[in-house]
Amino acid sequence: MRRKLATWRRAAALLALLGATEASRALAHPLAPALLDIVEHPDGRTQVTWKTAVAQLDDAALSPVLPVDCRADGAASQDTDATRLTRRWTVRCGAGGLSGKPIAIDGLDRSQTDVLLRVGLADGRRLQGVLRPDDPDFVVPEEVRRIDVWRDYGRLGVEHVLGGPDHLLFVFGLLLLVPTLGALLRTVSAFTAGHSVTLSLAALGRAEIPSAPIEVLIAGSVFVLAVELAGSGKPTPLARRPWAMALGFGLLHGLGFASALREAGLPEEEVPAALLAFNLGIEAGQIAFVLGVLALGRAARPLLARAPDWIAPVPVHAMGALAASWVIERSLALL
């Protein structure tokens, strides 16, 4: 039994090293989406806000394409901070407004960046969509369809969790920490319960916390888990009750998920559906990741059973070093 457990941990440790490498690459080339926010006003004006990441050179070639009957009304303004370039301008789109008309992003098919689209119509409806390189346009519907809300927000949740290296590395650490399948199920369920609660509260405006400090604490949670994994092997409170640790840190990670959901916005007519679809998307992405890791670990057992013992702790140390660099980087950004 001990030999089988050691073999699994070697397999998991190697996969953790691969995950840390991919995470480093993701941080070096961030995939933060652009944002196009369009708001109609009753007097016929339509306010357009276009935000792109300063670090992404591909974004320089992107530009919104509004319906052909939308005409500029005044000069555009532009400002830049440490991470975002923001342009704002006003247009007039005629008596019919935006309903039934297309909105597109020129150059998106040549980019690796998604674009979050938010549309606020004069009749009070709020729409949301995600424009991608293979789907760079969006037709404003005459009415909100619930199936579109489920599809868009569910897909957004999957993409958000699978694109978050800090979250995935924490989940992977939980796989290394717990020794049995039953303990793993309890631990992952506790983590799910924790982030579901704070995601819902924050998305509904019941917990307003700035995202930057939360990102520092999330990186800190990965570091704490790495320290626990690199310990002497003696029982600790975290190892004896991993579900309690997962629940507490899950509350923290849920606040991080909420920042992405606030950026996308929630459709006023379908808030419960959008919130549930986003949360289910997160869970689907998380389950897919866990099942993939378990499958790869099982497939790698015969090969890694012959690996030398000194390899096992290397990925955990890499995990801790990566988490520490996130903490430092994100803390400096606060200054």
DSSP secondary structure of 37-98 = EEEE-TTSEEEEEEEEETT-GGGGG-EEE--TT-EE-S--EEEE-SSEEEEEEEEE--TTTT
- Residue 74's pLDDT band, with cuts at 50, 70 and 90, is confident
Q: What confidence score (pLDDT) does residue 36 get? A: 92
Most confidently predicted of 31-35, 64-68, 188-192, 295-299:
64-68
Q: Give every CB contact of residue 300 below 8 A, 6+ residues apart in sequence.
A: 11, 14, 15
Tens-place pLDDT, residues 242-257:
888 888 888 888 888 7
- Residue 91's pLDDT band, with cuts at 50, 70 and 90, is very high
In a 10 Å sphere around its CB, with 0-12 CB exposed, 13-18 middle and 19+ buried, how is residue 221 labelled?
buried
Delimit the domains of the chain by residue range.
2-30+163-334, 34-143
Query: pLDDT over 70 for what percent of the chain?
Result: 79
pTM above 0.75, yes or no: no
Average pLDDT in the chain = 78
Tens-place pLDDT, residues 80-89:
876 678 899 9
Tens-place pLDDT, residues 277-313:
888 888 888 888 888 888 887 887 777 677 677 666 7
- Residue 236 in 3-state DSSP? coil
Tens-place pLDDT, residues 21-60:
444 444 433 445 788 999 998 888 999 999 887 655 444 5
